[in-house]
Structure 1
Amino acid sequence: MTGRLTGKVAVVTGASRGIGRAIALRLAADGAKVVVHYNKAEKEARDVVAAIRAGGGEAIAIAGDLAEPDTPELLAEKIVAAARADLDAPALDILVNNAGVGLRATIEEIGDTGFEEVLRIDLVAPFRLIKALAPRLNDGGRIINISSMGTRAAFADMVAYAPAKAGLEALTRALAVHFGPRSITVNAVAPGATATDLNPGARDPIRAQAVATSIALGRVGQPDDIAAVVSFLASDDGRWVTGQTIDASGGQRL
């Protein structure tokens, strides 16, 4: 396969379904070799790999539960070893931190355990994975963190999710400065209501129509809409964009 990412190696966490799946497929369509990370959805992850290979691309699937304390570092080791052995890739070029847990709860409903789990998966895990993989990321590489428009608009039931994603955006800016001397760009993409299995309201036609009234472009997002923005940031076209959070919500709750 040839495309604007030909010769690049990408890692996409949480790539077995939803937005992560769309990102993996899009980067592969653009020519990248893709490491498809998953937690429990092995069949779905292998389906993504099969779809990429059917299209003439290269991909492998790697499992890892990011809720476990040692997983980010162990996952990084597995990714590097598998990329070298199976993709003939001694180094990486693109890291997309998409895996996350979208727990919806108000402050009265959530306990310490739930709050800490969201922070651990949505903020701490990306931090540790970036730290572990940065030495294996080529100069001129890309780090793209998937955030949420919930960081700029108030949702009472995002009392854990929104703070975790806001922290991820702050981390994005700090790392953009840190990795700038290596010409590595670091950006975040903030989807709005997107039709995935983690957002059933956006998949239900009636509820989606109601949500669409708050979106400037008049519809809920699709995973491919988010993948297109990630593709731009991952490519050479995005070389002069860093430290930014790109709102990919279709203009939701402007």
Structure 2
Amino acid sequence: MTTSTTPSTTSYRPLASRGALVTGGSRGIGRAITSRLAADGATVVLTYAERSDAADTLLEEAAESNGQVFAVRMDLADPDQVTAAFEAADEVFRTAGVGLDILVANAGIFTSAPLAEAPVEEWDRVMAVNARGTFLTLRQAAPRLRDDGRVVTVSTVGTQWPSPGEAIYAASKAAVEQLTRVASRELGRRGITANTISLGPTDTDLLRASAHPSALEGAAAMTALGRLGRPADIADLVALLVHPDSRWVTGQIIGADGGLT
């Protein structure tokens, strides 16, 4: 586990004295979420699957301005690693004098293949990370979350407006949405909210590597705001949902697609 600890320079810190765990928090959207929560005063533990270099770079940036950030390697498809990551986070939070107040289940993988051609093994791989991985994450988080905590999971507009080739991915994210709605019912009596963000096309390295520039232009043109989403747009929405004032919003699937749907 790698760490970085320094006082935040942000004057308004609504998440001070709160602990947050962000899965897939070292790159892209997860990176923006980690940075925003840390800037708002939270002690953040991020998980990453393989690339420690991205996590290390984020920790260096956090050391300059964004407060307390820690990184733990975790393979979402491995139940033992999920358990170990939460146990490592427990120790971080104990040392910092906080507890687990915020879970952002952001990590996931994408696949695309026509139904008639998609290998069964690809179904198993994507479901193991996106659906089962979210289940394992929520299972570990539920008994650890302090009262009045916040859960945010990440899905896709593809569950409502699927494109050809997205059957496996959309199915895995539909499972994420339903797991979150059940969590809202099970945890609500403790004041814990659980919501899903439904993402539209968001400008990340992963999107640009997997989509033709003309497709990106077309997607941007279809939004009401005429552009792709940015990681900071999603991080700002997460910040709203985990804020203490969001206590009456739970069990919702909230679109973050610039008016695409």
| Range of TM-score over shorter length | over 0.9
Alignment of 1:78-97 (within 5 A): 78-85=88-95, 87-89=96-98, 91-97=99-105
Per-residue CA deviation, residues 66-93 of structure 1 (Å, 9 max, x unaligned), is: 12243222222222123324x343x210
Q: What CA RMSD, in Å, does the superposition of the two structures yield over aligned residues?
A: 1.7
* Alignment match, 1:156: 164
Question: Number of matched residues?
Answer: 251
1:66-145 matches, within 5 Å, as 66-85=76-95, 87-89=96-98, 91-145=99-153
Corresponding position: 1:6 with 2:8: no
Tell me how far apart the structure 2 counterparts of residues 196 and 236 of structure 1 sit (CA, whole Å). 29
For structure 1, list consecutive stretches of 5 or more residues without a partner in the other structure.
none
The residue that corresponds to 2:5 in the other structure is none
What is the one-letter code of the residue matched to 2:217? Q
Structure 2 letter corresponding to 1:218 = G
Secondary structure of the structure 1 residue equivalent to 2:104: strand
Contact 1:232 1:238 in 2 (8 A): yes
TM superposition shift of 1:206: 4.5
Q: Partners of 1:127 and 1:39 in 2: how far apart? A: 17
State the 1:243 CA deviation.
0.1
In structure 1, the partner of 2:193 is: 185
The Cα of 1:201 is off from its aligned counterpart by: 6.3
Identity level (%): 39
Confirm whether residue 239 of structure 1 aligns to residue 217 of structure 2. Answer: no
Secondary structure of the 1:94 match is strand
Q: CA shift at 1:204, angstroms?
A: 6.7
| Distance in 1, Cα, partners of 2:50 & 2:209 | 23
Paired residue secondary structure (1:65): coil
CA displacement 1:74-126 (0-9 Å, x = unmatched): 222222123324x343x210000000001122213321111111111111111
Q: What secondary structure, in the 3-state scheme, does the structure 2 residue paired with 1:213 have?
A: helix
1:224: how far off?
0.5
SS across alignment from 2:147: strand
Are residue 39 (structure 1) and residue 52 (structure 2) matched? no
TM-score, scaled to structure 1: 0.93
CA change 1:153–1:201 in 2 (3 A) is farther
Distance 1:133 1:199 in 2: 29
Flag the 1:15–1:24 CA change in 2: closer, same or farther, 3 A. Answer: same
Query: Cα 1:243–1:233, aligned 2, differ >3 Å: closer, same or farther?
Result: same
Distance apart, 1:203 and its partner CA:
8.1
| Structure 2: segments with no counterpart, 5+ residues | 1-7
From 194, 202, 209, the equivalent of 2:217 is 209
**Separation (CA, whole Å) in 2 of partners of 1:159 and 1:115:** 9
Q: 1:222 aligned to 230, 235, 247, which one? A: 230
Whichever residue aligns with residue 231 of structure 1, its letter is: A
Matched residue, 1:248:
256
Of the three residues 19, 28, 52, the one matched with 2:38 is 28
Partner of 1:15: 25
The 3-state SS of whatever aligns with 2:77 is: coil
- Residue 150 of structure 2: SS of its match in structure 1? strand
CA distance in 2, matches of 1:140, 1:96: 15
Q: Could you tell me whether the CA contact under 8 Å between 1:13 and 1:37 is conserved in 2?
A: yes
Q: Would you say the 8 A contact 2:44–2:70 is kept in 1? A: yes
Measure the CA separation in 1 of the matches of 2:94 and 2:213: 44
